[in-house]
């Protein structure tokens, strides 16, 4: 079982499961990595490509991206787990289950960071920061998958660092949101207080 490929696939699928599926299929077809045949099938790659295109557009529109992320709170981890099971499936049943677990957990981690970051960025009225963040995420998915395919040990280290950073960032943004909510409540109470 290739832990570097599983780690990179799991983490990147939490950001964009369709891009990861397409990258794996292309990597298999070009002989860059040993990828199971099912991911190299034309129909799988076409569907992944179409859904990647839809996500590429939806992910760059403020508030639409939040709805998309909400729907994909289930889709990305389950898709990552399925990819992990397929990638590790050549081994034993326990290997397939372990592959699904690794990729699914990593996808939950990166998806949580993405959704929290996007919600914070969407508080800004201009769309440029949202588009820039989306393009950065697309590049990050491609970069992590390249590492996962070509530099397996480095991929594990990078994914570990990204998970640690993601947890830190999510906690930081969540605390900032809670502080802001308390300020809103206090302001609302002041506005609703009877005049002296």
pLDDT of 182 strictly over 90 = no
Helix pair angle (3-29, 42-58), 10° resolution? 110
What is the number of domains present in the chain?
1
pLDDT tens, position by position, 126-152: 778 888 999 999 999 999 999 999 999
CA-nearest of 152, 162, 109, 107 to 1 is 152
pLDDT of residue 98: 87
pLDDT of residue 194: 58
140 — phi, psi (to 5°)? -65, -40
| pLDDT class of 103 with cuts at 50, 70, 90 | very high
pLDDT of 50 strictly over 90 = yes
Percentage above 70 pLDDT, the chain: 95
Residue at 94 is within a domain: yes
Tell me the C-alpha distance between 8 and 178, whole Å. Answer: 32
Residue at 172 is within a domain: no
- As a whole number, mean pLDDT of residues 181-187 equals 81
pLDDT of residue 66: 86
pLDDT of residue 92: 60
Residue at 48 is within a domain: yes
Residue at 176 is within a domain: no
Print the domain residue range for 14: 3-166
CA-nearest of 78, 165, 180 to 117 is 165
Long-range contacts of 138-142 (CB under 8 A, 24+ apart): 138/16, 138/19, 138/56, 138/59, 140/12, 140/15, 141/12, 141/15, 141/16, 141/19, 141/20, 141/23, 142/19, 142/23
pLDDT of 160 strictly over 60 = yes
Residue at 153 is within a domain: yes
Q: What is the DSSP letter of 60?
A: T
């Amino acid at each position: 079982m290739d832990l570097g490929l599983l780690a990179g696939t799991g983490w990147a699928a939490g950001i964009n499961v369709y891009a990861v599926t397409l990258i794996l299929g292309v990597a298999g077809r070009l002989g860059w990595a040993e990828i199971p045949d099912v991911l190299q099938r034309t129909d799988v790659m076409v569907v992944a490509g179409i859904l990647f295109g839809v996500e590429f557009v939806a992910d760059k529109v403020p508030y639409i991206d939040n709805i998309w992320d909400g729907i994909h709170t289930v889709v990305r981890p389950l898709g990552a787990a399925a990819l992990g099971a397929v990638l590790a499936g050549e081994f034993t049943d326990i290997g397939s289950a372990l592959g699904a677990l690794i990729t699914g957990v990593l996808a939950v981690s990166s998806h949580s960071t993405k959704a929290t970051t996007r919600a914070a960025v969407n508080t800004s009225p201009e769309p440029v920061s949202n588009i820039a963040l989306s393009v950065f995420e697309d590049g990050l998915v491609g970069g992590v998958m390249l590492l996962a395919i070509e530099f397996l040990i480095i991929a594990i280290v990078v994914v570990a660092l990204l998970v640690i950073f993601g947890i830190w960032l999510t906690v930081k943004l969540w605390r900032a949101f809670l502080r802001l909510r308390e300020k809103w409540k206090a302001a609302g109470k002041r506005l609703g207080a009877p005049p002296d």
